[in-house]
Structure 1
Amino acid sequence: MRANTVHKRAYNHCLSTLAARPLGSWGVSEAELSDALEVSRTTVRGVLSGLAAAGIVGTDGTRRRLIRHPVPEDYFPGFETETVAEAVERKFMQWVLQGDCRPGQVVNTSELARLFGVSTTAVREYLTRFSQFGLLKRRENSGWIFAGVTPDFAAEIYEIREMFELRSARRFVELAPDSPAWAELASIEREHHALLSEIDARYRDFSRLDERLHRLIHDTSRNRFIRDFYDVISIIFHYHYQWDKSDEKERNRVALREHLDYIAALRSRDLRQIDQTCRAHLRTARATLLRSIAVGPLGGAPERGRGPDAAKPGVVLPAE
């Protein structure tokens, strides 16, 4: 990771931490902040200098003080704080959701690398991660096949998703009140309300917000297998959602309200309420996925003579 990226990630992390603190004395040492942000003291000093220049943190003699809380404009944009792997993941998701990935389409990984501005190795490593879930299959001597999703596959994915998300949600409410995750959840909640108020014009922005909320919850599991699995969930659910446009606006309106119920349950730390709202939302997501699979790409009907469990046409991804 580039040094500048490390600084920006640490700076944003520190802002999220300060957002949950009361104004006034901030008695943290460079060593403590270095441990909390998981960066060197040199980077910490750069972060503190930036906070002082922005008028967020000042000094009172030898002690630091939090002068004001951060606002959204204080944060570096997300794309400036990404690792290479995260950048590939984001760009691949955008590529899929923009409709550039269609069943039967042949794609060259070197072309993807050029499009994303990364190495072919980074793209290949990203695609390899999906093979363990059966979503991508390696063809002998000629790259990859996107296997597609059948109703049976969707049912299996839903079962694991529910189990992992409930486990992650329970871990989320164990976080300390000053954890940056709570500040991020509050930011996501505000964006939900903003999107609902402009749903007629912005309903297609839902996918990004949906991914952000569920990834936040999965990331707090501190389990690399759960985090990796969410990459597959994002591709499967968001990609197939694009197939059925018939009631997209109303569907997204319902999902936004379910998200807000879910967020309120997380804030309450009531495990029973969390379980109820999480299961209700995931059942809706499963029904939407199954309906989208039935509709097929571009809103077309499934091919005649094909049973619901028949293999779907795949996306072939050659190695070079």
Structure 2
Amino acid sequence: MPRPDRVFKSACNAMLDRLMAGAEVTNISQLARHLGVSRTTVRAVLSYLEKRGLLARQGRGYDVQRLPEQADYFSAAQTMDTRDALEAAFMQMIRNQDLGPGTRLNEGQLARQLDVSVQTIREFLIGLSRFGFVRKDHHRRWVLEGVTRQYALELHEVRVMFESRAVENLCCLPEQHPFWGGLARLRQEHQAVTASADLSTLDFPALDTKFHRFLNDHAGNRLIVGFQDAIAMIFNHHYLWPLENQLDHHLTATADHLAIIDSIERRDKRKARAAMAAHLDTTRRRFAQATAKPPDEPR
């Protein structure tokens, strides 16, 4: 996606989150600072939302005509940055079993397959190497290592500490913070899952990653953001090994997410922390179950 198009669509989604949180639409310069874009982009966003019937010009500002709905948002595929898009594409290659532990990774070939520069691929692989997901062999070639079961469980312990604290911090965000609009949108997406009659096409790992990344991104701790890549790669990697009642697990995890959202929206730190801890414990047990009898490939 060309950058200007992505920036515009990302700004639209961010503006919709602000509307969901009850923000006023008055000062364009202030909105530009909040959204991290130019005033020209803000004007384009407001014009777009006016055409969709969400806003109506009133004097020097805008009145909100209706709250955003899920259909008003641009999809993640249309707004994700290069790093997120690259991670999603790389994970899809693993899920499709195009890549497996022991696979040698050619930077140039991956760059062509994923339509990014060789430098972007190199930086991506270097990032993954920090968590042991890839390594360089004695010939200085990249090799997909996968992760050991023990390493993943140790990372889980760190995850519990970070994310249980994160939800407590989120309960303290001010009323007009755009986080609340984004949280309402996440609620809608999860409710759509529980209401769906057909979950066979649900990409639950993507939804799970989106949920945890959104919470961590707003929790005010830069260290957990750095760990997020490893968490997404490792704990979604185990979805390669199917378990019985896979869809039941997806529904249970979705219900866990909704319980966490409920507690955060009520600003109940104790319940939010307990709900997150319970959800992560379920994730750990499922991961341990999925990797207890490994397939014919190294862990």
- Give the structure-2-normalised TM-score: 0.90
Q: 1:277 — aligned with what?
A: 275
- Alpha-carbon deviations, 1:211-250, whole Å to 9, x = none? 1111111111233331121111111111112213333222
Q: Cα 1:7–1:201, aligned 2, differ >3 Å: closer, same or farther?
A: closer
1:146 equivalent to 2:144? Answer: yes
2:187 to 181, 186, 189: 189
> Which range is displaced more, 271-280 or 52-61?
52-61
Matched position secondary structure for 2:105: coil
Q: How do 1:240-251 and structure 2 match up within 5 A?
A: 240-251=238-249
Code of the aligned partner of 1:18: L
Q: Cα 1:128–1:71, aligned 2, differ >3 Å: closer, same or farther?
A: same
1:82 is displaced (CA, Å) by 2.5
Q: How do 1:188-267 and structure 2 match up within 5 A?
A: 188-198=186-196, 201-202=199-200, 204-267=202-265
Q: Cα 1:248–1:178, aligned 2, differ >3 Å: closer, same or farther?
A: same
Q: 1:306 — aligned with what?
A: none
1:281 is displaced (CA, Å) by 0.9
Q: 2:90 — aligned with what?
A: 92
The aligned length equals 298
Code of the aligned partner of 1:100: D
1:79 equivalent to 2:77? Answer: yes
1:174 is displaced (CA, Å) by 1.9
Q: 1:291 — aligned with what?
A: 289
CA distance in 1, matches of 2:63, 2:194: 37
Q: Cα 1:253–1:83, aligned 2, differ >3 Å: closer, same or farther?
A: closer
Q: 1:317 — aligned with what?
A: none
Q: Cα 1:95–1:179, aligned 2, differ >3 Å: closer, same or farther?
A: farther
Q: 1:126 — aligned with what?
A: 124
Code of the aligned partner of 2:244: S
1:174 equivalent to 2:175? Answer: no
CA distance in 2, matches of 1:294, 1:145: 24
> Which range is displaced more, 65-74 or 7-16?
65-74
> Which range is displaced more, 243-252 or 264-273?
243-252
CA RMSD in angstroms comes to 2.3
Q: How do 1:11-160 and structure 2 match up within 5 A?
A: 11-21=12-22, 26=24, 28-160=26-158
1:183 is displaced (CA, Å) by 2.2
Q: 1:4 — aligned with what?
A: 5
CA distance in 2, matches of 1:45, 1:219: 26
Matched position secondary structure for 1:65: strand
CA distance in 2, matches of 1:223, 1:138: 30
CA distance in 2, matches of 1:89, 1:289: 20
CA distance in 1, matches of 2:194, 2:69: 21
- Paired residues of 1:97 and 1:238 also in contact (CA < 8 A): no
1:203 is displaced (CA, Å) by 7.0
Matched position secondary structure for 2:135: strand
Q: Cα 1:64–1:198, aligned 2, differ >3 Å: closer, same or farther?
A: closer
Identical residues among aligned pairs (%)? 34
Structure of higher RCO (CA pairs closer than 8 Å, 6+ residues apart): 1
Matched position secondary structure for 2:68: coil
Code of the aligned partner of 2:164: L
- Paired residues of 2:168 and 2:269 also in contact (CA < 8 A): yes
Code of the aligned partner of 2:21: A
1:88 is displaced (CA, Å) by 0.9
CA distance in 1, matches of 2:89, 2:191: 26
> Which range is displaced more, 211-220 or 73-82?
73-82
Q: 1:163 — aligned with what?
A: 161
CA distance in 1, matches of 2:56, 2:25: 12
Unaligned runs of 5+ in 1: 303-311, 314-320
